[in-house]
A and B are shown apart, each in its own frame.
Chain A
Amino acid sequence: MQQDAAALVVLSRVEKRFGDTVVLRDISFSVARGKTVCIIGPSGSGKSTLLRCVNALVPVSSGSIEIDGIEVNDPALDKIALRRKVGMVFQQYNLFPHRTALQNVMMAPIHVLKQDRREVEEKARRLLAKVGLAEKERAYPGELSGGQQQRVAIARSLAMNPLVMLFDEVTAALDPETKKEVLVTIRELAEDGMTCMIVTHEMGFAREVADHVYFTEKGVIVEHGPPRELLAHPREERTRAFLNQVL
């Protein structure tokens, strides 16, 4: 099937300052529809801030971000329209602890999209089954393991039918066994054609799933390229130093 290779997410000279500190500087790249990009780098390099700018959780100081025709940096932005197109999963504290897994997945489509309850429930069940948690419908987040929680969080974001999914170090707080379940779920998602932007420390995962990898340090994109190139033969010294530490 011929995929429309037009760019879905376009960042252009994005800069973010917190007071006097420059957290992101001259960030420009684009993500084509159906592709997966991974963003790697040391802590404090602005990766999480970058994702939050894409999702309009944090306003950019200058530059522009465009997602499927919506200007994210527009001050008159309709945040709800944007958030329908962009889903995000965080490192922790994703799920609402006072609701069951199924209710968590159902909440946003009902409250925000005002969809019919029965349809939403059906879809939610399918999504939970898709992430392998059909039998945990009635469990509360506190009763789920970390990996299970993250998978429910992914299902919950998918319930909004987004065009782009953002993942902010979602496996960083998990131990190795549970990490795998979540990474498998994300990989399946990417293979199904979802456009993904993933911030991660898992180099093996990045190599497997990414179409393109960006290495950031101190708020700038130092180097980028297809994973096989970047991870095996980094051109920049800084990239090499980072990868030596991590791999």
Chain B
Amino acid sequence: MTPLPVLLPGKPALAGSAREGWREFFSGGVLVAVLAALAISILAGEARAQPGIGASPGVLAILLKWSPLIFQGFLFNLMVSVLSMLAGTALGLWLGLGRVSQFVALRRASGGVIQFFRNAPWLVLLFYCMFLLPFSITLPFATVPLPDAAKAVIGLSLPVMANVAEIVRGGVGSIPLEQWESGEALAFSRSQIMWMVILPQCLRRMIPPWMNLYAILTMSTTLISVVGIQDSMTLARAALVAEGRTELFIPMYLMLLSWFFLYCYPIARWTTVLERRFRVRV
């Protein structure tokens, strides 16, 4: 007696609406909305700026004046994100391999580490590293100073490491058993199978979630401003304090938000496109 299926099978696509193609990748709709909001706030600010009190510059002029400086801070955010991503990916790859290892003890230990760093809030890990990492590391040949930025990179690379490990685990787990079996039938050792058969195949599948992780990481780099490192957030706030005009607040924050948006939104879109492409292939 065959039962009828009661519900559609499989995991629902979680990357927004999956019906988007290259056209949607460049869809200006949302971008326009954000930039429009920015423009409106600037105009509103201009309108509210006191008219006729000396040569009081407009909101747009002030934003432009401070932009180069704040942008440098933004580049700093990006640099931190890239470094943390590299470090976290390198560590996470090994941790992930440990998670799928044939040795039970290694699997359990890796699992514990992954769970730990996935459960801990990113800000707390950041605080931990900022406060508890030493100011310099004494190596046999030299004393390497550890500046705040380096501590921040380490702090952010820890959750990245855990998430990359999970992505690796998911990727390896999605390769059908038959691949392992064919490798064994050809007398490959387990690590040979892993490196020559399994990993090359899952690399493509791991790219979309990995890119998604990078976008999340980039947005999380703003946390470093909370632990006292100067980035685009601190500079923007400093600029607001320096100017002292309340009608600048909304435009300034919207400007900062739109910079992050312009950087992360294309990544999110690209992730969706890649996901669809890789899914169809499989």
Contacts and interface: CB of A to CB of B under 8 A. Distances in A.
A175 B1 contact: yes
A147 interface: yes
Interface string B64-81: 000000000000000000
A149 B5 CA distance: 10
A93 B1 contact: no
B1 A97 contact: no
Nearest to B4: A146
Interface residues of A, number: 18
B2 A93 contact: no
A150 interface: yes
Contacts of B177: none
B13 interface: no
A178 B6 contact: no
A144 interface: yes
A115 interface: no
B83 to A, nearest CB: 48
A128 B162 CA distance: 53
B240 to A, nearest CB: 52
Nearest to A142: B6
Contact of B1 (A95, A141, A145): A145
B254 to A, nearest CB: 42
Interface of B is mostly: loop
A147 B3 CA distance: 7
A175 B2 contact: yes
A142 B3 contact: yes
B9 to A, nearest CB: 12
Nearest to B1: A145
B2 A141 contact: no
A177 interface: yes
B7 interface: yes
Interface in B1-27: 1-8
A145 B3 contact: yes
Contacts of B2: 145-146, 174-175, 178
Contacts of B1: 145-147, 175, 177-178
A77 interface: no
A178 B4 CA distance: 11
A91 to B, nearest CB: 9
Interface in A133-174: 141-142, 144-147, 149-150, 173-174
A95 B6 contact: yes
B5 A93 contact: yes
A178 B1 CA distance: 6
Contacts of A141: 6
A61 interface: no
A92 interface: yes
A92 B4 CA distance: 7
Contact of B3 (A94, A149, A177): A149
Given A146-B1, A147-B1, 11 more contacts: A93-B4, A97-B6, A142-B3, A142-B6, A145-B3, A146-B4, A149-B3, A149-B6, A150-B4, A174-B2, A178-B2
12 contacts: A92-B4, A92-B5, A93-B6, A93-B7, A94-B4, A97-B7, A142-B3, A144-B3, A147-B1, A149-B6, A174-B2, A178-B2
Q: 4 smallest A-B Cβ distances: which pairs?
A: A97-B6, A146-B4, A145-B1, A92-B4
